[in-house]
Copies of this chain bind each other. A is one copy, B any other.
Amino acid sequence: MRLSDSIESFIKTMLTQDEPEVELKRNELAEYFNCAPSQINYVLATRFTLDNGYVIESRRGGGGFIRIVRVVRTGSQKLLYLIHERIGDSISEGECARIVAQLKEERLLTEPEAALICAAVSGSALSVPMPEPIKDAIRAKTLKAMLTSVARQNRESAVHALTQNG
């Protein structure tokens, strides 16, 4: 088991049941896990990102702390955030994959949808002689267009549910 994974699950254990927020001391945690303090930052930066649904606040100096807050966003908020802020004009295949995996985890994408998106931005879909930066630009646009389609579908099905029920 990787150190990072241990630290990640330790923190997530603290965050579980109806406790959406936890505060910790970087140095204490590092000592507990017998590692460099900056290791904690690494775990936060790779496992507790905004994309993953967490916000980090911290303070230095005496009585300093790191606070990890789990944030809940509705599906459409999340999609809009991704489309308009997170995904810029250019994105790599790996980064795409990470975003899609995360959305699948959060059940905002079904398995087939996720696979479809990955296929559309995969290397094989773009295996045309063309500089990499342009491929990344196409990836960004394709990903945004597809997520927009999903967002629209969600909206329509919500409307549909409403008309059904009332």
Q: Which residues from chain A sit less than 8 Å from chain B, CB to CB?
A: 1-2, 5, 62-63, 110-113, 115-120, 122, 124-128, 130, 134, 137-138, 141-142, 144-146, 148-150, 152-153
Q: Apart from A116-B120, A130-B134, A138-B138, what are 19 other A-B pairs with CB-CB below 8 Å?
A: A112-B149, A112-B153, A113-B113, A115-B149, A115-B153, A116-B116, A116-B117, A116-B149, A119-B145, A119-B146, A120-B120, A120-B142, A120-B146, A125-B141, A125-B145, A125-B146, A126-B142, A128-B134, A128-B141
Minimum CB distance partner of A142 in chain B: B125
Asked whether, in the complex, the Cβ of A122 is within 8 Å of the Cβ of B145, the reply is yes
A115-B153, A125-B141, A137-B128 in contact; A63/B120 too (CB < 8 A)?
A: no
Stoichiometry, as copies per complex, reads 2
Collect the chain B residues with CB atoms within 8 Å of residue A5's CB.
Answer: 63
9 contacts between A and B (CB under 8 A): A112-B149, A112-B153, A116-B146, A119-B145, A124-B145, A125-B141, A125-B146, A128-B134, A128-B137
Asked whether, in the complex, the Cβ of A126 is within 8 Å of the Cβ of B113, the reply is no
Collect the chain B residues with CB atoms within 8 Å of residue A2's CB.
Answer: 62-63
Q: How far is the CA of A119 from the CA of B128 in the complex (A)?
A: 20
A166: min CB distance to chain B, Å = 22
Give the contacting residue for A128; candidates B116, B138, B148; CB below 8 A.
B138
